[in-house]
Structure 1
Amino acid sequence: MTRQFHRPARLDPEVAEAIEGGEDPAVASELAHRTAQALVGGFPEPAGAPGPESEPITRQGVVAVVAAHGVDAVAELWADSPATTLPGALWRLFLVREWLRRDPALIARRYAVVVDLTEAGPEALARLEAALVEARPAPSPEQLRAALDRVLDGEAGSGAPGLAPLLAATADFLRALTAGSDPVWIEEDTDELAHRVTRRPQALPATADELDEAARRATALDLD
Structure 2
Amino acid sequence: MTDRPRRPVRLPSAAFEVNEGGLDPAVTLRIAHDSARALVHRVRASDDPDLVERMVAFTDEHGLDTLAELWSRAGARTLPGVLWRLSLLRALIRSDPPGVALLFQRGSEVLATADPVIAGAEAPTGPDEIRVLADAVLRGVYVGDVAVAFERAAAFCRTAAAGAADLADDADAAADDTRATELTSRAARLAASARDFAACARLERAGSLD
Residues of 2 paired with 1:96 and 1:112: CA distance? 17
- SS of residue in 1 equivalent to 2:209: coil
Tell me, yes or no, if the aligned pair for 2:147 and 2:204 is still in contact at 8 Å.
yes
The counterpart of 1:19, out of the listed 15, 18, 26, is: 15
Residue 197 (structure 2) aligns with = 211
Residue 49 (structure 1) aligns with = none
Computed over aligned residues only, the root mean square deviation of the Cα atoms, in angstroms, reads 3.8
Q: What is the CA distance between 1:216 and its match in structure 2?
A: 0.1
The structure with higher relative contact order (CA 8 Å, sep 6+) is: 1
- SS of residue in 1 equivalent to 2:208: coil
Residues of 2 paired with 1:112 and 1:82: CA distance? 30
Tell me, yes or no, if the aligned pair for 2:150 and 2:200 is still in contact at 8 Å.
yes
Q: Which runs of 4+ in 1 moved over 6 A?
A: none
Alignment of 1:72-111 (within 5 A): 72=64, 74-76=66-68, 77-111=70-104
**Residues 200 and 31 (structure 1 numbering): CA distance in 2 closer, same or farther, change over 3 Å?**
farther
Q: TM (normalized to structure 1)? A: 0.60
Alignment of 1:102-181 (within 5 A): 102-113=95-106, 132=112, 135-136=114-115, 137=117, 138-140=119-121, 141-151=130-140, 155-156=142-143, 162-181=145-164
**Residues 31 and 200 (structure 1 numbering): CA distance in 2 closer, same or farther, change over 3 Å?**
farther
The counterpart of 1:182, out of the listed 157, 162, 165, is: 165
Residues of 1 paired with 2:139 and 2:14: CA distance? 25
| Structure 2 unaligned spans of 5+ | 122-129, 167-184
Tell me, yes or no, if the aligned pair for 1:29 and 1:81 is still in contact at 8 Å.
yes
Matched AA of 2:151: A
Q: What is the CA distance between 1:20 and its match in structure 2?
A: 3.2
Q: TM (normalized to structure 2)? A: 0.63
**Residues 200 and 112 (structure 1 numbering): CA distance in 2 closer, same or farther, change over 3 Å?**
closer
Alignment of 1:50-65 (within 5 A): none
| Structure 1 unaligned spans of 5+ | 1-7, 44-59, 117-127, 184-198
Q: Which has the larger radius of gyration?
A: 1
**Residues 148 and 71 (structure 1 numbering): CA distance in 2 closer, same or farther, change over 3 Å?**
farther
**Residues 148 and 39 (structure 1 numbering): CA distance in 2 closer, same or farther, change over 3 Å?**
farther
Q: What is the CA distance between 1:16 and its match in structure 2?
A: 7.6
